[in-house]
Amino acid sequence: MHITLTNTLSKKKENLSCLKAGEVKLYVCGITPYDYAHIGHGRVYVFFDVLVRLLTLMGNNVLYVRNFTDIDDKLINKAIATKNDPLAYKEVAQFFIDQFHDDMKKLGCLSPTYEPRVTECIPEIIAFVEKLVAQGNAYVVGSDVYFDITTFSAYGKLSKRNLTEMVAGARVEVNEVKRNPGDFALWKGNDEKQFWQSPWGYGRPGWHIECSVMAEKFLGPSIDIHGGGMDLIFPHHENEVAQSECLHKKPFASIWLHNAFVNINKEKMSKSLGNFITLNTLFASHDPMVVRYFYLQHHYRTPIDFSDQELEAAKTAYKKLMTHFGAVAPLQSFTSKDLQTLCETDTLVRQLIASLTDDLNTPKFLGIVFEHLAVIAQSHHHVSFVAYLLRTVLGLSLQPLEEKTQEITPEIQELLNRREQARKEKNWALADALRDELATLGYAVQDKKVIK
């Protein structure tokens, strides 16, 4: 058995050759815990959870690292806004880390092997930056340190951009001290002597250096799979490639995996557009297993249009699976050798496994299950095996759904208030958009006609 995955670097499906070694090193960029996790985060971590589960089923020991960026401009700004103290970022981060763990548990995601925080890796980050400076890949300006992108000839190979295009179209701050507009901060100095002491003065790490260091610390200088949402390809992952490969003189990751965006009513989800949906708000009206199933109905490289109608359709399909497989006792002592034998002797099993090992095609897997429900139901062996895959690989509990009450959370009330204000201002387009967003969250809004 082997698994193929679409490598962002080559833009091709590639065999994960490292399976022969029986160990897979996986690094997935985690959240910056300054706010509640949203449905885009949910999609990322459900996808990689299924990948870990499948690799494990195939007999591999998966070393899975997912970090927390617990020091960042957004966190500091949140601490100032809520605590009036920039150094309260730790308290803010811990609150949202706890919330994130709760969301992941509800979605049925397994815990990573390691879950490091940036603030726990400061000595390693400083040492990494020192080496880049010594090699001439980075330069010091006052108490700041920047990476010089011109010292890495392959810069742009992941995002498929050339240096000229990136500089011409770069949305970077005006910073005359940088040698090149695209150079990025490895260390951000702090004039108030806050955060950590370094050879360049007090300060804190830049964003990109953090993941390179944490990946190296827990997995080594070269890893098998690195991934996240496609919004991270540039500049975050591009910059990780540059700094890691400059330092270690070898490929940073064999395969780069990126999942597509989540759209809300055909628009990209964005706080600026006001269509930002957090997981905890969504879970107030929809069972988390339905949300997980909704993600799995779509291939990870295909954009998702998130709507109330789509969620209701997912709920109906998930209930059908529960009816057929929910009461089935789990298989005992099932091994990768058993799976290999079944794939060689059973056509249906071979089709199901082939769909998953072919670039993690979960919608095809589910399609095969529904297409063959009648045949599966006639065989206790098939019923047990499909139930096993649904639970063990797709991570679906198949338990009765929790009935949700229509709780008016602060976030929902804010949407209602905004819509009411839009109606008062006769901004009907915005009012309709907010009504659609509320419907996506499971809240039907019916305007009463006022009789005078």
Tokens of 267: 């628009």
Summary count for the chain: helices (H), strands (E): 17, 13
pLDDT value of residue 406: 59
The residues near 346 (Cβ < 8 Å, ≥ 6 apart) are none
Cβ proximity of 85 and 76 under 8 Å:
no
Report how far apart, in Å, the C-alpha atoms of 294 and of each of 47, 100, 216, 297, 368 are.
12, 19, 34, 5, 17
CB 250 within 8 A of CB 258: no
Q: What's the one-letter identity of residue 286?
A: H
**Residue 257's beta-bridge partner residues?**
227
Q: What is the DSSP string of 304-373?
A: EEE-HHHHHHHHHHHHHHHHHHTTPPPPSS--HHHHHHHHHH-HHHHHHHHHHHBT--HHHHHHHHHHTH
Report, as ranges of residue numbers, the positions in the chain whose pLDDT lies below 70: 1, 18-21, 164-175, 271-274, 403-407, 436, 439-440, 442, 444, 446-452
Q: How far apart are CA 248 and CA 100, in angstroms?
A: 33
Residue 355 is encoded by which pair of tokens?
A: 């769909």
H-helix or E-strand spanning residue 6:
strand 4-7
**Would you tell me how many other CB atoms lie within 10 Å of the CB of residue 100?**
21
Question: In the 8-state DSSP scheme, what is residue 405?
Answer: P
Global pTM value: 0.88
Q: What is the pLDDT of residue 375?
A: 94
| β pairing state of 12-15 and 4-7 | antiparallel
Question: Please, which residues have CB within 8 angstroms of residue 260's CB and are 6 or more apart in sequence?
Answer: 230, 300, 301, 302, 303, 304
- Tens of pLDDT, residues 174-221: 567 899 999 999 999 998 889 999 999 999 999 999 999 999 999 999
User: What is the per-residue pLDDT for 442?
Assistant: 65
Tokens of 135: 């090699």
Environment class of 450 (CB within 10 Å of its CB; exposed 0-12, middle 13-18, buried 19+): exposed
- Residue 62, amino acid: V
Give 240-307 as a 3 state SS string: HHHHHHHHHCCCCEEEEEEECCEEECCEECCCCCCCCCEHHHHHCCCCHHHHHHHHHCCCCCCCEEEC
What pLDDT is recorded for position 175? Answer: 60
- DSSP code per residue over 98-129: HHHHHHHHHTTPPPPSB--BGGG-HHHHHHHH
SS3 239: helix
State the Cα–Cα distance between residues 228 and 238, nearest whole angstrom: 12
- The structural domains of the chain, with segments of one domain joined by +, span 4-262, 285-392, 405-452
- Positive or negative, the Cα torsion across 121, 105, 43, 278? negative
3-state secondary structure of 194: coil
Tell me the CB-side half-sphere exposure of residue 64, using CA atoms within 13 A: 20
Distance of alpha carbon 419 from alpha carbon 335, whole angstroms: 54
Tell how far CA 330 is from the center of its chain: 29
Instruction: Transcribe 61-93 into DSSP letters.
Output: EEEEEE-B--SSHHHHHHHHHHHS-GGGHHHHH
Distance CA 391, CA 325 (A): 10
pLDDT for the residue 444: 63
Report pLDDT for 117.
98
- CA torsion sign for 333, 339, 342, 347 is positive
Fold of 4-262: Rossmann fold (3.40.50)
